[in-house]
Amino acid sequence: MARPKKQIDKIQFEHLCGLQCTEEEICYFFSVSDKTLIRWCKETYGKSFSEVFKEKRAVGKISLRRNQWKLSEKSAAMAIFLGKNYLGQTDGAVEDNDDRNLTIEIVTHEDK
């Protein structure tokens, strides 16, 4: 008598990929071996686990990016992070090398 076939829910699997779960974590969640998960991916998607994972994790990245943009409306730190990473902005002092209007006053104190 053969062992009962382990069930892997496709929607839950895709959700776990979207959350960036590792292969090991997904196997643990479904109580299956890595060989079973790899075989299931081949049967269900016609692709390897890594190919399917790469496609399905993109949904999680989109969700994360959406949350970061929304957070940047209220968080200066997130706005700065996004500005640096997407707009090429940097930290640093601005130097003003325009000394045409520079006035130097020398004050001396003489002893009386």
Domain ranges of the chain: 10-87
State the chain's mean pLDDT as an integer.
86
Q: What is the pLDDT of residue 8?
A: 95
Q: What is the pLDDT of residue 110?
A: 63
Is this prediction's pTM over 0.85?
Answer: no
Report percent pLDDT > 70 for the chain.
Answer: 81
Q: Does position 106 have pLDDT exceeding 80, yes or no?
A: no
pLDDT digits (tens, 9 = 90+) for 45-90: 999 999 999 999 998 888 888 999 999 999 999 888 888 888 888 8
Q: Would you say the C-alpha torsion 57, 60, 65, 68 has a positive or negative sign?
A: negative
Using N-to-C axis directions, what is the helix angle for 49-72 and 10-18, rounded to 10°?
Answer: 50
